[in-house]
């Protein structure tokens, strides 16, 4: 992969640009995609942004969501944009398979592909890009990309709101160790431009439905298991649990973090039964590497302290398998405390 600066000449004249991100997009995925979208449109390009699937409700306020295509809802229009574009940007993922149904179409596309991402181990399929796991978020990297292009003056309030959202969500509201001085400098710059950060916190964190709040109560009372011996917590949610509270897309966001708020719990797991597969989310505090854990046991990956994966086992078997692994890795967990 060549450095992203080598792609700058391609952006000197107006181009048709296709941007996409990972399936089940989060704040950083949609923030980086839309932040880049607003910037490239301002530069004079014709841009199409495509999410591989539906967005969670808590991101539906974001400037530009009405311009987004959802591949699952409008595959034809999305594919047409992919076929006709001159250039492809991929943000917040580094392996085609993370885009689910778009995977084979991206693999078949012959246009130059540019990666902006902060996950470990990028697949060797991009022509140009930035892949920096030490970065807090892809939104921070889009900000860096705009500055590298000497276009800081093109960051308007829409771009700022999108980029802020991804940095805020990926850093746990600026508390994870990855929140560097540069992150705060970026936010200071966005504030100088007039960013209203309080509104964004309210949109993302204080816009719950009543049933989502009651669901959280149910999950913490009935569905959270704590294993003090292993310094670990587990929340496992079946389809039936989610039906009880009419759980919507995005309503399970953040649940995995709750066990980590308990003293001495260093490793938290959320198991959710979804369609025909089981989705796993892992979070840790400190030195336990959940990215390796997800790769080793659950066909996944991600970051050191936040990762995900999946299994094709049944819901019940997944829980049993997870508990067995937990006892097997116990010494490794203990060593990290």
Measured from the CB atom, is 105 or 118 closer to ligand 5GP? 118
Q: Which stretch binds ligand 5GP (CB under 6 A): 79-87, 158-166, 244-252, 305-313?
A: 305-313
Q: Tell me if 301 contacts ligand 5GP by CB under 6 A.
A: yes
Please spell the DSSP secondary structure of 192-233, one letter per residue.
Answer: HTT--HHHHHHHHHS---HHHHHHHHHIIIIIEEEEGGGTEE
SS3 302: strand
The set of residues, in sequence order, having a beta carbon less than 8 Å from that of 333 and lying 6+ positions away, is 230, 231, 232, 266, 267, 288
Q: Which of Mn ion, ligand 5GP, none is residue 303 near (CB under 5 to 8 Å by kind)?
A: ligand 5GP
At 83, phi and psi to the nearest 5?
A: -65, -40
Q: Tell me if 64 contacts ligand 5GP by CB under 6 A.
A: no
Q: Tell me if 308 contacts ligand 5GP by CB under 6 A.
A: yes
130 DSSP β-pair partners: 116
**194-208 b/e with 16+ CB inside 10 Å = b?**
ebeeeebeebbeeee
Measured from the CB atom, is 63 or 300 closer to ligand 5GP? 300
Question: Smallest Cα–Cα separation from 290: which of 213, 233, 222, 209?
Answer: 233
Q: Which of Mn ion, ligand 5GP, none is residue 306 near (CB under 5 to 8 Å by kind)?
A: ligand 5GP
Q: Tell me if 122 contacts ligand 5GP by CB under 6 A.
A: no
Q: Which of ligand 5GP, Mn ion, none is residue 300 near (CB under 5 to 8 Å by kind)?
A: ligand 5GP
Measured from the CB atom, is 15 or 309 closer to Mn ion? 309
Q: Which of ligand 5GP, Mn ion, none is residue 309 near (CB under 5 to 8 Å by kind)?
A: ligand 5GP
Measured from the CB atom, is 113 or 135 closer to Mn ion? 135
Q: Which contacts (CB < 8 Å, 24+ apart) does range 3-10 have?
A: 3/128, 3/129, 3/130, 4/114, 4/116, 4/128, 4/129, 4/130, 4/145, 4/148, 5/148, 6/128, 7/87, 7/112, 7/114, 7/127, 7/128, 8/149, 10/86, 10/87, 10/112
Q: Tell me if 52 contacts ligand 5GP by CB under 6 A.
A: no
Q: Which stretch binds ligand 5GP (CB under 6 A): 62-70, 127-135, 189-197, 303-311?
A: 303-311
Q: Which of Mn ion, ligand 5GP, none is residue 302 near (CB under 5 to 8 Å by kind)?
A: ligand 5GP
In the complex, the residues that contact Mn ion under the rule CB under 5 A are 28, 92, 138, 170
Measured from the CB atom, is 250 or 301 closer to ligand 5GP? 301
Q: Tell me if 285 contacts ligand 5GP by CB under 6 A.
A: no
Measured CA to CA, the distance from residue 120 to residue 291 in angstroms comes to 9
Residues in binding contact with ligand 5GP, number by CB under 6 A:
12
Structure tokens at 150: 């000497």
Single out the residue of 35, 52, 64, 302 in contact with ligand 5GP (rule: CB under 6 A). Answer: 302
Residues binding ligand 5GP (CB under 6 A): 22, 26, 281, 300-303, 306-310
């Amino acid at each position: 992969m060549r450095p992203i600066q080598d792609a700058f000449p391609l952006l000197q004249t107006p181009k048709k640009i296709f941007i996409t991100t990972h399936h089940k997009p989060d704040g950083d995925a949609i923030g980086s995609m839309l932040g880049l979208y607003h910037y490239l449109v301002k530069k004079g390009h014709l841009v199409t942004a495509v999410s591989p699937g539906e967005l969670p409700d808590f991101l539906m306020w974001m400037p530009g969501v009405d311009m987004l295509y959802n591949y699952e809802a409008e595959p034809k229009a999305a594919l047409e944009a992919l076929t006709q574009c001159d250039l492809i940007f991929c943000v917040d993922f580094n392996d085609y398979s993370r885009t689910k149904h778009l995977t084979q179409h991206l693999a078949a596309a012959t246009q130059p592909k540019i990666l902006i991402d902060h996950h470990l181990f990028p697949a060797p399929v991009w022509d140009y890009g930035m892949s920096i796991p030490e970065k807090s978020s892809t939104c921070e990297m889009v900000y860096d990309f705009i500055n590298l292009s000497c276009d800081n003056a093109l960051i308007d309030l829409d771009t700022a709101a999108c980029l802020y959202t991804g940095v805020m969500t990926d850093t746990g509201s600026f508390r994870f160790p990855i929140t560097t001085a540069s992150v705060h400098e970026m936010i200071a710059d966005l504030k100088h431009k007039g960013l209203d950060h309080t509104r964004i916190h309210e949109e993302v964190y204080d816009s719950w439905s009543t049933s989502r709040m009651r669901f959280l109560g149910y999950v913490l009372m009935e569905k959270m298991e704590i294993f003090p011996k292993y310094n670990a917590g587990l929340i496992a949610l079946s389809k039936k649990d989610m039906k009880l509270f009419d759980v919507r897309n995005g309503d399970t966001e953040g649940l995995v973090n709750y066990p980590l708020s308990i003293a001495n719990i260093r490793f938290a797991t959320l198991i959710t039964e979804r369609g025909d597969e089981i989705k796993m989310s892992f979070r840790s505090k400190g030195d336990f590497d959940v990215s390796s854990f997800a790769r080793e046991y659950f066909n996944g990956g991600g970051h050191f302290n936040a990762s995900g994966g999946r299994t094709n086992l049944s819901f019940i078997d997944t829980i049993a398998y997870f508990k067995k692994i937990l006892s097997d890795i116990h010494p490794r967990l203990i060593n990290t405390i």
